[in-house]
Amino acid sequence: MDRNSDEYRQRRERNNMAVKKSRLKSKQKAQDTLQRVNQLKEENERLEAKIKLLTKELSVLKDLFLEHAHNLADNVQPSSTENTTSSDNAGQ
């Protein structure tokens, strides 16, 4: 095919347009991917902060629960010991 022919020039022009379109599409896809990566990084940071906060809250609640359970155990005397002690004291 002759480089000076109209058909050759038209094919080259169509090819150049196709290449340009393909490169733009590829560039747009890369930008979209980068934007998605940034969104996911931000979401990950928010989720990690939430995990940290909830872990602290869980620790505080566990400590409160254990303190409350310990206080209950100290304040409650077993009823069998109470009855035995009362019976022993009454007999003396």
* Nearest-angstrom CA–CA distance, 66 and 34: 48
pLDDT, residue 85, reads: 55
DSSP state, residue 77? P
Domain boundaries, the chain: 8-77
Q: pLDDT in tens for each of the 92 residues of the chain?
A: 788 899 999 999 999 999 999 999 999 999 999 999 999 999 999 999 999 999 999 999 999 999 999 998 888 866 665 555 555 555 55
CA contacts within 13 A on the Cβ side of 65: 6
* Nearest-angstrom CA–CA distance, 34 and 38: 6
Whole-model pTM: value is 0.60
- How big is the chain, counted in residues? 92
